Structure 1
Amino acid sequence: MKPIVYVSGTFDLFHSNHLKMIEYGAGFGGTLIVGVSTDELVCTYKNPPAVPYEERAAIISALKYPNMVIPQRSLDHTDRVKDLNIDVFVVGDDWRGKYDYLRDLGVEVYYFPYGEGVSSTRLKQQITEQYNKLKSTADKHENPEIKKS
């Protein structure tokens, strides 16, 4: 019997490591369900996402891998695992150890290694730094059409 695989994430500022994690989940075969964290959930443990839930879910839904994309409203996946008969749970390795309890429910848990590559947090930091640099180096000449009083 093919497994039911659940990939969990925020997927803010979608990037290649997000895609790799979803591809990894798809590699188990069977049904791939991707849980996208709602804005409300994300705000309980970090700053709000830059991209609203509806748009993040639409991006994930447009990919060829997921069979289903659903809102993720809780960090406790006990009921979700039971309700959807999930066999395999995949999440980024920044959550290492957090979901080990699912193994007691017979679920295989995998922490996908993001490594040193791209992350939404790093992308936000880069954008902020580049914007601040641009602001600080912008041409600050006087506008000749504005007369000084």
Structure 2
Amino acid sequence: MRTVVYVSGTFDLFHRNHLKMIEYGAGLGDTLIVGVSTDELVCTYKKPPSVPFEERIAIIEALKYPDVVIPQRSLEHSERVKDLNIDIFVVGDDWRGKYDYLRDLGVQVFYFPYGAGVSSSNLKTKIYNQYKKLVDEADVHQNPEVK
């Protein structure tokens, strides 16, 4: 019998930890399904993604690891687990404990450890701070004398 693995994520500002989590999920079973959170879903629990859903899902579809890529419209996965016969569920460890209820349905749940300091939120903050510094430095200059 084939083992079905489901990897869940927003995958905003795609980075190497996203790739590692998807690669890890692929190594756990025979069929890898990746669920990409829609913009509407993400907005229910944090600020909107920087990259629109259509682009985020296209990036994941272009990877070699997923067999199937689907929109994820809910954080509740009981029905999805049943409908897709999911055996293993993988999500980032920033969601630790949130999906333990899936174990009652016979699903193995793995909270993938993110690398230190690498996340879409951290990248957004770093980009903002670097941009602000550039603007601040550009605004502090002497005006040339006009004759």
TM range (shorter): over 0.9
1:74 corresponds in structure 2 to: 74
Distance in 2 separating the partners of 1:30 and 1:85 = 12
1:87-102 equivalent positions in 2, closer than 5 A: 87-102=87-102
- Matched with 1:133 is 133
Structure 2 equivalent of residue 31 of structure 1: 31
Q: Partner amino acid for 1:87?
A: D
Runs of 4+ in 1 over 2 A off after TM superposition: 139-145
Count of aligned residue pairs for this structure pair: 146
Q: Which residue of 2 aligns with 1:110?
A: 110
Whether the 8 Å contact between 2:96 and 2:111 is mirrored in structure 1 is yes
SS in 2 for 1:89: strand
Q: TM-score, normalised by structure 2?
A: 0.95
Please name the residue that 2:49 is paired with: 49
Structure 1: distance between partners of 2:63 and 2:145: 52
Consecutive unaligned residues in structure 2, runs of 5 or more: none
RMSD: 1.5
8 A contact 1:4–1:88 mirrored in 2: yes
Identity over aligned residues, as a percent?
Answer: 75
Residue segments in structure 1 that go unaligned for 5+ positions in a row: none
Q: Which moved more, 1:113-122 or 1:18-27?
A: 113-122
Partner of 2:9: 9
TM-score normalized by structure 1?
0.93
| Inter-partner Cα distance in structure 2 for 1:89 and 1:107 | 7
CA contact (8 A) 2:17 2:115 kept: no
